[in-house]
Amino acid sequence: MYANLFTMIEVGNKPVIEDNEENRAICRKYCRNCQNYRKHTLEKFQPTELFCARGQSSATGMKLFGCFCSGCELYTKYHQRGGFYCVRR
């Protein structure tokens, strides 16, 4: 009930990215320009965005072509590590 009042929820000491419209809008600026997103036409598979919060794409047979995750505002804001969230979690 109270979780909706916060923009960031902590699990242990690591903040978790909330799946909301504000974060999806930020995500669209990065994911839609990413080589992996375009090469694998990830807009056709669920989830279509915010992979760092929603999990990897349901697309199959993906290869790693490039990653914009570390350049995303959410990556820095939520202290993320790694990348290629569309391919792996």
Tell me the two tokens of residue 6: 């916060």
**CB–CB of 57/47 below 8 Å?**
yes
Which sign does the torsion angle of CA 58, 61, 67, 68 carry?
negative
pLDDT tens for each residue of 16-72:
899 999 999 999 999 999 999 999 999 999 999 999 999 999 999 999 988 999 999
Question: Where on the phi/psi map is residue 85: left (φ > 0), alpha (ψ -120 to 50), or beta?
Answer: alpha
**CB–CB of 58/45 below 8 Å?**
yes
The model carries a pTM of 0.80
